[in-house]
Amino acid sequence: MEKNIEKVLSEKGIKVSKDELSLLEHQWNAIQQLKKGFKEIKLDDSDICVTHNPGSVCHE
């Protein structure tokens, strides 16, 4: 997976360090686990939304 992320980013001209690449891979895997859980439930049963806004402030 790390090579795919690195390839996509390099094609877009984005350079990342090995540490950043490792963090991105970890974050990607966490998002995939969240998506997996949503595929297993009925849409009528879900009434929350999960968003990821890096660097933003949460206003409730």
Helix 18-39 and helix 2-11: axis angle, to 10°? 110
Whether residue 23 is contained in a domain is answered as: yes
Whether residue 37 is contained in a domain is answered as: no
User: Which pLDDT does position 58 carry in this prediction?
Assistant: 63
Which amino acid is located at 25 in the chain? E
pTM, rounded to two decimals: 0.55
> Residue 8 is part of which domain span?
1-32
Whether residue 6 is contained in a domain is answered as: yes
User: Which pLDDT does position 2 carry in this prediction?
Assistant: 59
Measured in Å, how far apart are the chain's first and last C-alpha atoms? 35
Mean pLDDT of 24-42: 81
Residues 6-29: tens digit of each pLDDT: 888 889 999 889 898 888 889 888
Whether residue 17 is contained in a domain is answered as: yes
